[in-house]
């Protein structure tokens, strides 16, 4: 299955970001801690160029904390400033202005030496759809200033937002890229809800999620769905389908005659996965992408 999504407003957003760069001191790149690399738009490096950048690993409340720590070290080893936050609860959100100012320490020092009063840091927040930008902005601002939603494509325009900590934020719509060279990226984004549901085959996405996550977190699925056991051969597609059917029967996802409605069961699996019902799960580790 090929997963592609590049609505017109994303094309406009890319152009608008490039036009606003001259006004920006720091770029805040927001990633999903459950899939930091898959949620990292490869176009962003070209768009942002050499602007100072702070990487934020968001949704840490849903991600495996041990793997998040590995990602933190991996980004730091590459010379990036990085911070793990949970925008929903506000964990570490107040550190974002602090870390942003650290990136501009030399510039601020030069201004002070000249007798100038440094103005608030102007930051650009960028990230793919449904990575939690609006929730983060509202938490930083201490009020509801950005539209939020549990679906991609909520933010459609740009706005300057003043926040505490001597910072002004420029919100932008989420931007996906026109073509996923690796279809695994598409599956992971779909499993975590970054791609609109109606564009997908939910059975394929649920199948992928189970096949990837069960080796790492199998006992959680056994407990959550009362599975009789775990598959012995994950390369055997029938065993994964049998798990999906078992979940469908347990949760009443049935059709007339007693058969399992796999589409309904798949939607249920994905909803519970996205809501953290199986605990804190991560879809990828840095060793697959970066030097240790």
Q: Give Cα 42 distance to the centre of its chain.
A: 14
Q: Which of 115, 149, 171 is the last residue of a domain?
A: 171
Say yes or no: 160 and 206 in one domain: no
> Does the residue 190 lie in any domain?
no
How many Å is the Cα radius of gyration of the chain?
21
3-state secondary structure of 230: coil
Both tokens assigned to 43:
């176009």
Q: Residue 282: what pLDDT?
A: 97
Q: Residue 239: what pLDDT?
A: 92
- Say which CATH number the domain at 142 has: 3.40.50.300
Is the pLDDT confidence value at 92 over 90? Answer: yes
Each residue of 101-132: pLDDT tens digit?
A: 999 999 999 989 999 988 889 998 888 878 88
Q: Are strands 121-126 and 81-84 parallel, antiparallel or unpaired?
A: unpaired
Number of domains in the chain: 2
Contact 253, 265 (CB under 8 A): yes
Give the separation between CA 44 and CA 192, rounded to whole angstroms: 21
> Does the residue 145 lie in any domain?
yes
Give the separation between CA 149 and CA 152, rounded to whole angstroms: 8
Say yes or no: 141 and 275 in one domain: no
Contact 30, 58 (CB under 8 A): yes
CA nearest 60: which of 166, 132, 158, 128? 132
Residue 150's pLDDT band, with cuts at 50, 70 and 90, is very low
Q: Which structural domain, as residue segments, surrounds residue 58?
A: 8-171
Determine whether 165 is exposed, middle or buried from the number of CB atoms within 10 Å of its CB (0-12, 13-18, 19+).
Answer: middle
3-state DSSP helix/strand/coil % of the chain, to nearest 5: 45, 15, 45
Each residue of 222-270: pLDDT tens digit?
A: 999 999 888 888 888 999 999 999 999 999 999 998 899 999 999 999 9
3-state secondary structure of 95: helix
Both tokens assigned to 219:
């006992």
Q: Residue 7: what pLDDT?
A: 57
Say yes or no: 94 and 160 in one domain: yes
Bin 206: left if φ > 0, else alpha if -120 < ψ < 50, else beta: alpha
Say yes or no: 267 and 221 in one domain: yes
Each residue of 55-87: pLDDT tens digit?
A: 999 999 999 999 999 999 999 998 999 999 999
Contact 70, 82 (CB under 8 A): no
Q: Which of 125, 156, 171 is the last residue of a domain?
A: 171
Give the separation between CA 141 and CA 167, rounded to whole angstroms: 10
């Amino acid at each position: 299955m090929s997963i592609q999504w590049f609505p017109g407003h994303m094309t406009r957003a890319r152009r608008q970001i490039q036009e606003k760069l001259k006004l920006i001191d720091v770029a805040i790149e927001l990633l999903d801690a459950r899939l930091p690399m898959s949620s990292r738009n490869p176009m962003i490096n070209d768009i942002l160029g050499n602007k100072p950048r702070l990487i934020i690993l968001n949704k840490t409340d849903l991600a495996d904390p041990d793997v998040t720590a590995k990602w933190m070290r991996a980004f730091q080893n590459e010379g990036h400033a990085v911070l793990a936050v949970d925008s929903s609860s506000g964990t570490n959100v107040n550190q974002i202005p602090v870390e942003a100012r650290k990136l501009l320490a030399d510039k601020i020092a030069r201004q002070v030496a000249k007798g100038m009063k440094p103005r608030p840091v102007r930051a650009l927040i960028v990230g793919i759809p449904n990575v939690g930008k609006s929730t983060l902005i509202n938490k930083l601002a201490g009020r509801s200033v950005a539209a939020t939603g549990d679906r991609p494509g909520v933010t459609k325009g740009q706005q300057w937002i003043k926040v505490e900590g001597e910072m002004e934020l420029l919100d932008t719509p989420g931007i996906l890229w026109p073509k996923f060279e690796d279809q695994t990226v598409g599956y992971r984004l779909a499993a975590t809800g970054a791609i609109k549901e109606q564009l997908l085959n939910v059975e394929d996405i649920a199948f992928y999620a189970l096949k990837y996550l069960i080796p790492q977190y199998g006992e959680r699925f056994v407990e959550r769905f009362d599975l009789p056991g775990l598959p012995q051969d994950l390369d055997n597609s029938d065993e994964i389908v049998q798990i999906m059917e078992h979940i469908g029967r347990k949760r009443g996802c049935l059709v007339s005659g007693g058969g399992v409605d796999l589409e309904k069961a798949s939607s249920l699996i994905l909803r519970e996965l996205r809501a953290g019902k199986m605990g804190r799960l991560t879809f990828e580790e840095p060793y697959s992408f970066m030097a240790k």
